[in-house]
């Protein structure tokens, strides 16, 4: 009997999926979940035999000049097919069984349109219903997309082609297909249609939408081809391998508890290919991207949305990121002080703690600008009431003023959830400021603030505003991943469309009130969706305190940078347990050579709690960044103008170097500094160097391109500078307000280069200046910058 029971349990687990995969496998075929807020896997619905499938069959009508027409969708059904002892799935045409027959159409025709946004961007929209809802302003978009007239159209009886300076889009009429080509006429990708299955015994479901047997709701599944050696990047802050080919990626905001699984705090419905194109799936509904995971030739984009609204971009990675962020928005510059050191832990509990941390940072001469109070500045830990606990903060206003005079900005933790014991719980219920369930009651035990309700936003911003008016510098925008998926929101929409959008609404609410009161664009957020990059900055969550936590963190930082986010940070050394000193030392240069730098963890992270040797190591990494602050600030400014990440994958700068596309444990800090952290104990590592010469920042040794085993310097990381760089430095200061921007030191890094170049941006005018130095005679050409600061050259 025991053996039979085990067989039954095993069979049930096979049906359920791999439970301990750390991902979206805790599901049954309908997509229902066994644990709340595990990512939705939308692909399951597209294998359900009770659903009706409609395949994009032919272009029924189209006005090529206007870019508008209709596509006929062929009604189909899935059947199983036996081949000896193997069962496969095939799709067959279906004659409609609906009643009354004359009221419906067997193969419906729905609107399909093309818009041209710029010479590198087009928009493709497809409906799966005759009803076109009036389009409202999208929170994901920075504004109304532009219109470009440079694309030239031509038409034959078989196809319509729109050709631009950077590529072309062809619409094949029957069978309906979209073909994207680059400027040289090479096919980058094309939609997958039924006839493509003739080439293989493995039958992939082509471009389609489904009508569910369970409730007649619709979802669309755009399907595109993949090429041999194609690589896909993006999709948000993903902690798995950077290249997404062979992966199934669920775009559903979750709290993964750290950067070690395939779940994401910050999924972004955008990706780019090394073939020269990128796609932004303009939706807030869940998406499952099957990038060749179940069929190596096919990119299946399983969407919960019933409509397809894609922006498609042509070009190299820099072009694509610039075009994408033109659509969803670029950030304005965060304040200078935010680029300094943030000192934090869970948690500083008292006013005395704040003074002690400030005193120790200055005593140990560790340059720093921010002290963060996490979950315990209220009367009761984790119970946010927006008030400093009177019993532990006798005069918080004086503390804020005193610390500001010492060069410290204060950051405060909070969250958008209120437990039944929270003092504001009754008020929020009474005023209907929470997300509701279908009955109008609470979907959870906790109140979840409803940011679609203007009254909620006003109430919330008033609470934060009181703190900001006291002089608090930044608000930590923690959590935000658990907006009820089955909830009903004040704007009339359900969690299907609001769950993923919740972090963006949350980020925006905090950023708006901070900008209104301080004139600064700064938050410290964990969750995000497309559009959140306008509201810097975001950090990588609760990393494991081990080597793999560090690896997942760097992957997450690179991936979010390839998804349109310029600024990002993480918890140096990991979050969970007290960081072993050896690991902490290796993590330090990675943490400081990131756009924003924070030491934070559940246990204490302060360097003076280790030993004097570690204090010295911490200080050296901090001093490195503070001396490089003119470089950091100028590179950040360029990122805000071009949609680039401060922490960027090598191929962003070197798209024509095949090796650069393979590296995921090194990065470029800005455009001129290459960083290769140590992920294991030791003093050296293999480093891949793209084209050109590279000069070791710490030793001056010169390396050619290719693979090298390189010893780290006194700061335990490989830090190299691109040949022909003029890196601006500044005299060391203990905080950014003390920095003397009237004198900038240019350090030249030149091996073969006859000219060294760099960027400088003075905080006083916030303008980007290019500096050129002739290496032979040290002649400086800096334009009007020479009138604003004194430039001094050193080798």
pLDDT of 452-505, one tens digit each? 999 999 999 999 999 999 999 999 999 999 999 999 999 999 999 999 999 999
pLDDT of 355-379, one tens digit each? 999 999 999 999 999 999 999 999 9
- Among residues 196, 260, 306, 481, which one is catalytic? 481
Q: What distance in Å separates the CA atoms of residue 146 and residue 121, rounded to the nearest whole number?
A: 10
Q: Is 230 a catalytic residue?
A: no
CA torsion through residues 142, 143, 149, 151, sign: positive
Q: What is the mean predicted confidence (pLDDT) over 435-445?
A: 95
Residue 18 has pLDDT above 50, yes or no: no
Q: What distance in Å separates the CA atoms of residue 95 and residue 76, rounded to the nearest whole number?
A: 8
CB 791 within 8 A of CB 785: yes
pLDDT of 549-588, one tens digit each? 999 999 999 999 999 999 999 999 999 999 999 999 999 9
CB 373 within 8 A of CB 400: no
- Among residues 230, 542, 606, 664, which one is catalytic? 542
Q: Is 441 a catalytic residue?
A: no
Query: What residues does 476 pair with on adjacent strands?
Result: 413, 524
CB 236 within 8 A of CB 267: yes
Q: What percent of the chain has pLDDT over 90?
A: 92
Confidence of residue 83 (pLDDT cuts 50, 70, 90): confident
Q: Put the strands of the sheet holding 717-722 in their side by side order.
A: 647-648, 667-669, 673-677, 717-722, 694-696, 702-703
Q: Is 353 a catalytic residue?
A: no
Provide the 8-state DSSP code for 693.
-
Instruction: Report pLDDT for 33.
Output: 61
What tokens were used for 568? 């990002």
CA nearest neighbour of 357 among 625, 347, 790, 676: 347
pLDDT of 178-200, one tens digit each? 999 999 999 999 999 988 888 88
Q: 211: part of which helix (H) or strand (E)? A: strand 208-211
Half-sphere exposure of 795 (CA within 13 A, CB side): 8
pLDDT of 605-637, one tens digit each? 999 999 999 999 999 999 999 999 999 999 999
Residue 642 has pLDDT above 80, yes or no: yes
Residue 29 has pLDDT above 80, yes or no: no
Instruction: Report pLDDT for 36.
Output: 81
Instruction: Report pLDDT for 699.
Output: 98
* Beta strand ranges found along 64-105 (DSSP E): 68-83, 86-93
- Write the CB contacts of 66 (distance below 8 Å, at least 6 apart in sequence): none
Instruction: Report pLDDT for 32.
Output: 55
pLDDT of 90-149, one tens digit each? 899 999 999 999 999 999 999 999 999 999 999 999 999 999 988 889 999 999 999 999
- Among residues 319, 374, 478, 653, which one is catalytic? 478
Residue 15 has pLDDT above 60, yes or no: no
Q: What is the DSSP string of 174-205?
A: TTTEEEEEETTS-EEEEB--GGGGGG-SSPPP
Residue 37 has pLDDT above 90, yes or no: no
C-alpha dihedral, 301 to 304 to 305 to 310, nearest 10°:
-20
pLDDT of 235-253, one tens digit each? 999 999 999 999 999 999 9
CB 710 within 8 A of CB 684: yes
Instruction: Report pLDDT for 264.
Output: 98
Instruction: Report pLDDT for 5.
Output: 32
- Write the CB contacts of 21 (distance below 8 Å, at least 6 apart in sequence): 262
Instruction: Report pLDDT for 6.
Output: 34
CA nearest neighbour of 192 among 168, 176, 181, 209: 176
- Write the CB contacts of 767 (distance below 8 Å, at least 6 apart in sequence): 761
Q: 287: part of which helix (H) or strand (E)? A: strand 287-291
- Write the CB contacts of 376 (distance below 8 Å, at least 6 apart in sequence): 346, 347, 348, 349, 382
CB 200 within 8 A of CB 237: no
Mean pLDDT score of the chain: 94
Helices 629-642, 612-627: axis angle to 10 degrees equals 50
């Amino acid at each position: 009997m025991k053996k039979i029971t085990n067989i039954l349990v095993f069979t049930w687990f096979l049906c359920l999926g791999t439970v301990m995969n750390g991902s979206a496998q805790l599901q049954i075929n309908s997509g229902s979940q066994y644990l709340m807020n595990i990512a939705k896997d939308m692909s399951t619905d597209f294998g359900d035999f009770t659903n009706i499938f409609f395949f994009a069959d032919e272009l029924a009508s189209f006005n090529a000049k206007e870019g508008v027409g209709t596509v006929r969708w062929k009604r189909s059904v899935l059947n199983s097919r036996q081949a000896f002892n193997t069962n496969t799935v095939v799709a067959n045409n279906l004659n409609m069984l609906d009643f009354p027959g004359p009221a419906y159409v067997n193969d419906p025709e729905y609107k399909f349109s093309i818009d041209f946004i710029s010479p590198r961007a087009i928009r493709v929209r497809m409906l799966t219903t005759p009803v076109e809802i009036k389009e409202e302003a999208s929170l994901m978009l920075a504004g109304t997309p532009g219109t470009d007239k440079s694309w030239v159209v031509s038409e034959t009886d078989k196809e319509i082609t729109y050709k631009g300076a950077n590529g072309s889009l062809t619409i094949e009429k029957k069978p309906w297909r979209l073909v994207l080509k680059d400027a040289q006429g090479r096919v980058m990708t094309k939609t997958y249609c039924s006839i493509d299955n003739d080439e293989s015994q493995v039958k992939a479901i082509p471009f389609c939408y489904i009508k569910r047997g369970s409730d007649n709701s619709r979802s669309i599944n755009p399907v595109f081809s993949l090429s041999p050696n194609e690589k896909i990047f993006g999709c948000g802050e993903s902690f798995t391998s950077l290249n997404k080919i062979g992966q199934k990626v669920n775009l559903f905001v979750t709290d993964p508890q750290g950067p070690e699984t395939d779940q994401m705090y910050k999924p972004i419905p955008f990706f780019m290919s090394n073939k020269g194109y990128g796609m932004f799936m303009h939706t807030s509904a869940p998406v499952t991207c099957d990038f060749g995971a179940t069929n190596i030739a096919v990119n299946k984009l399983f969407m919960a949305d019933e409509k397809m609204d894609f922006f498609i971009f042509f070009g190299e990675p820099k072009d694509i990121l610039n075009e994408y962020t033109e659509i969803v928005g670029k950030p304005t510059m965060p304040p200078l002080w935010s680029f300094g050191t943030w000192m934090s832990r869970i948690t500083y509990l008292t006013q005395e703690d704040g003074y002690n941390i400030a005193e120790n940072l200055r005593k140990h001469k560790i340059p720093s600008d921010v002290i963060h109070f996490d979950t315990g500045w209220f009367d009761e830990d984790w119970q946010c009431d927006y008030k400093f606990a009177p019993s532990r903060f006798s005069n918080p206003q004086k503390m804020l003023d005193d610390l500001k005079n010492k060069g410290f900005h204060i950051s405060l933790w909070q969250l958008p959830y209120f437990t039944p014991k929270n003092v504001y719980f009754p008020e929020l219920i009474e005023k209907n400021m929470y997300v509701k369930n279908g009955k109008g009651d609470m979907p959870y035990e906790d109140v979840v603030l409803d940011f679609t309700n203007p009254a909620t936003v006003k109430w919330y911003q008033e609470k934060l505003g009181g703190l900001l008016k006291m002089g608090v510098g930044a608000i930590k925008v923690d959590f935000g991943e658990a907006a009820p998926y089955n909830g009903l929101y004040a704007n009339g929409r359900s969690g299907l469309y609001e769950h993923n959008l919740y972090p963006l609404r949350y980020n925006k609410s905090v950023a708006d009130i901070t900008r209104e009161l301080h004139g600064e664009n700064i938050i410290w957020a964990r969750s995000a969706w497309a559009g959140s990059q306008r509201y810097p900055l975001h950090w990588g969550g609760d990393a494991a305190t081990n080597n793999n936590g560090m690896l997942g963190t760097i992957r997450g930082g690179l991936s979010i940078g390839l998804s349109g986010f310029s600024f990002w940070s993480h918890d140096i050394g990991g979050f969970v347990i007290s960081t072993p000193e050896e690991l902490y030392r290796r993590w330090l240069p990675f943490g400081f050579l990131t756009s924003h730098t924070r030491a934070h963890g559940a246990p204490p992270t302060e360097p003076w709690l280790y030993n004097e040797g570690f204090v010295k190591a911490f200080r050296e990494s901090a001093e490195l960044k503070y001396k490089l602050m003119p470089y950091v600030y100028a590179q950040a400014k360029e990122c805000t103008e071009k949609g680039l990440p401060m922490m960027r994958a090598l191929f962003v700068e070197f798209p024509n170097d095949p090796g650069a596309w393979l590296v995921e444990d090194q990065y470029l800090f800005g455009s001129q500094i290459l960083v290769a952290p140590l992920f294991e104990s030791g003093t050296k590592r293999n480093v891949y160097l793209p084209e050109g010469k590279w000069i070791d920042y710490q030793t001056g040794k010169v390396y050619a391109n290719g693979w090298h085993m390189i010893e780290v310097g006194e700061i335990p990381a490989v830090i190299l500078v691109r040949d022909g760089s003029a890196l601006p430095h500044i005299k060391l200061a203990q905080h950014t307000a003390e920095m003397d921007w009237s004198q900038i030191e240019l350090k030249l890094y030149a091996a073969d280069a006859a000219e060294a170049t760099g960027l400088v941006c003075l905080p006083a005018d916030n303008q980007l200046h290019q500096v050129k130095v002739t290496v032979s005679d040290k002649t400086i050409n800096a334009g009007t910058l020479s009138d604003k600061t004194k430039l001094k050259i050193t080798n």
